[in-house]
Amino acid sequence: MSTFNTISALKEGDPSVFSDIFNEYHRKVYFYVLSKTHSPYIAEETTQITFIKLWDYRHNLDESEPVSRLIFHIARATSIDLLRKEAVKGRFLKQEKPAGSDTVNISDTIEAREQLIRVRQAVNSMPPVRRKVFELSRYEFNSYKEIAAQLSLSVKTVENHMSLAISYLRSVLLLLFLLLYLI
């Protein structure tokens, strides 16, 4: 069957064509991804997701493209997505406390609270509009566009206030750090 006919039949939802494509490319996709990632888990997940996406998005396939190119394009994009997710998950797991380290260091807790108090004092010493912009952005997680609408400011003004607020905090907190830890 030609590429055009194969894609056309797949677009129409022909399960036998999908089965033929799956049988022909499953191992090829698996070993392609395995050669790139060196992870059997990522290779298997990518392979499964690739064929699920091929079926789910069959209506959007370009009939002029070879089937192999479409499949390997999906596989490449899927493996990149999975690797990114694994990297994020790995960073998150590294930040968690190791098993058995349930003890809390009191001095670290006190120091963290003191630093938080210093940050809050520095934020409170900002001009009112800048402080409000900073609080809406960092504490309430509003976008610059939302802040601009809420405070009747332009987005550019919000950006400028945030830039000045962050610069101010850096300078104040650096000065406090130098005074407290180097003296």
In 3-state terms, the chain is what percent helix, strand and coil (to 5)?
80, 0, 20
pLDDT of residue 62 exceeding 90? no
Q: Pick from 155, 95, 153: which is nearest to 128 by CA?
A: 153
Model confidence band, residue 93 (pLDDT cutoffs 50, 70, 90): low
Residue with tokens 């399960």: 15
At the second CATH level, the architecture of 3-95 is Orthogonal Bundle (1.10)
pLDDT tens for each residue of 67-86: 889 999 999 988 888 888 87
Model confidence band, residue 124 (pLDDT cutoffs 50, 70, 90): very high
* Whether the model pTM is above 0.75: no
Residue with tokens 């309430």: 140
| Predicted local distance difference test score (pLDDT) of residue 36 | 86
CATH hierarchy code of domain 106-181? 1.10.10.10
Helix 144-151 to helix 128-138 angle (10° resolution) is 140
Question: For residues 49 and 54, what is the distance between their CA atoms, to the nearest angstrom?
Answer: 8
Domain edges within the chain: 3-95, 106-181
| Predicted local distance difference test score (pLDDT) of residue 178 | 67
